[in-house]
Amino acid sequence: MWTIFCAALLIASMAEAKPRTDVTVSGISAGGSMASQLHLAFSSEISGCGIVAGPPYYCAQGSMMTAIGACMRGPATSVSVSNIQNKLKSYVTSGSADSTANVKDDPVYIFTGKNDGTVIPGVAKISEQLYSPLGANIKTNYNLPANHGFPTENFGGKCEVLSSANYINNCNFNLAYDMLNHLFDGNLVKPPSGTAVPLSGQFIAFDQAAFMNPKNVARSDSRATDILSLWSNWMQTTMALYNPLTYLPSLNLPTLTLPGMTLPGSTGGVTGASSSNAGYGFDSQGYVYFPSACSQGKKCPIHVALHGCKQGKSFIGDVFAKKTGYLEVAELNDIIVLFPQVLQSSLNPQNPNGCFDWWGYGSTNYANKLGPQMVGIKKMVDTVRGINTASAAK
């Protein structure tokens, strides 16, 4: 009887297994490097990381030439793992990165395609060398014959060909699920192949500056104390309009814009300064998906998904957010997905391809807690968490 009870308890605990914290992160290419930067700098709060076709943490060491040279084209032997490890240790010692002891047992997913000529596999695999000594729970995927891009089950260019239109490859493989399933301890529901998942949540375009500084946002609704309560009220009112028995949105999700719209139940919108003018490289808007359950009172974990170069809103709109498979996995498993967006720019900062900062174009602190983009994304996560917490408390 005791054996049966223990077995039942083990099964129950496996079913309830969750990441160590409520935040995980992933990204492709430059976004993959940024994902590892966020994980290692904020490891007390971020408990899982997916790196898709990306150079390892601090590979560029503050040099654009190193970034476009050794960190992309190799050879892998020209990248000093010990230098990277020493830099991370110095950040931990100074307090600009959390203790690497937090990373022990954290799920980490590393992908590189066999045909990737942009960030060669040998360089991408260095992430495994960095995370292994930290005791991370690593899953690697090195055998797909993919070129540089985000593999999906049914969208994008040919798997083995570089798809410069959006850097998304149709490889007949759901990488978003495979990666998130590892980050969530192997307990996620998989989207069925060949069947569309009804996306009945809310896909929202939001003002990134407002989400990075929610208390400083100018408002015209005197009944709302800040953007958190305003959007919480809006979410509640909007979802109440939908009858779950008759409302079944198509996969062509509408994009709701906040701020700059009149919200139900309010006398006006919310305004905030354009985040692209803040000098951090962010676009004015980002995207977030609230699955239906998370919009209606359930407290949900947050996953941050970071686009690669030439994949942001200024290049391909919301294609990366809507076509890579994140939303379907999120809807079936009640995971909020945040899609920060970086803007292409020629000066201040010099970032013509719209990449997240993984070589120091915005700050010498780009890979630690003091980096402007690191701080900005962290604040966005905190705002989304606040909105979800307020909704769950009602």
What is the maximum alpha-carbon separation in the chain?
70
Residue 293 binned pLDDT confidence (cut-offs 50, 70, 90): very high
- Locate the DSSP E strands across the chain: 23-28, 46-52, 107-111, 137-141, 150-152, 157-158, 168-170, 202-207, 218-219, 256-258, 270-271, 285-290, 302-306, 336-339
Tens-place pLDDT, residues 160-214: 999 999 999 999 999 999 999 999 999 999 999 989 999 999 999 999 998 998 7
Q: What is the mean pLDDT of the chain?
A: 85
90: Cα separation from own chain's centroid: 26
Annotated active-site residue in 22, 106, 148, 275: 148
Encoded tokens for 33: 């490097």
* Tokens 């290692």 belong to residue: 40
> Residue holding tokens 């054996």?
3
* Selected catalytic residue, list 22, 98, 106, 116: 116
pLDDT tens profile 40-55: 999 999 999 999 999 9
Concerning whether 29 is annotated as a catalytic residue, the answer is: yes
pLDDT at 158 over 70: yes
Please state which of the ranges 8-12, 173-177, 314-318, 344-348 shows the lowest mean pLDDT.
8-12
Which runs of E-coded beta strand occur in 15-129? 23-28, 46-52, 107-111
Residue 370 has pLDDT above 70, yes or no: yes
Residue 351 pairs in a beta bridge with: 345
Comparing 296 with 70, the larger pLDDT belongs to 70
Give 131's contacts (C-beta < 8 A, 6+ positions apart).
Answer: 103, 108, 110, 138
Q: Are strands 157-158 and 23-28 parallel, antiparallel or unpaired?
A: unpaired
Query: For position 167, what pLDDT does the model report?
Result: 98
pLDDT for 173 equals 98
Weakest mean pLDDT among 168-182, 223-237, 242-256: 242-256
Local structure of 365: helix, strand or coil: coil
Average pLDDT over residues 130-159: 98
DSSP 8-state assignment for residue 169:
E
pLDDT of residue 71: 98
C-alpha dist (Å) from residue 72 to 19, 125, 322 = 31, 12, 27
Q: What is the percentage of the chain residues whose pLDDT exceeds 90?
A: 72
Residue that the structure tokens 């993984």 belong to:
358
116 is catalytic: yes
3-state helix, strand, coil in the chain (%, to 5): 35, 15, 50
pLDDT of 296 reads 87
Contact 22, 304 (CB under 8 A): no
307 included as an active-site residue: no
Instruction: Find where tokens 């430059």 sit.
Output: 30
pLDDT value at position 280?
Answer: 85
- Name the catalytic one among 29, 284, 295, 391: 29
> In whole angstroms, how large is the CA radius of gyration of the chain?
20
Mean pLDDT confidence for 368-382: 97
CA separation, residue 312 to residues 31, 196, 283 (Å): 10, 25, 9
What are the distances in angstroms from CA 311 to CA 31, 75, 112, 158, 243? 10, 26, 18, 17, 35
Residues 6+ apart with CB under 8 A from 162: 117, 118, 147, 148, 149
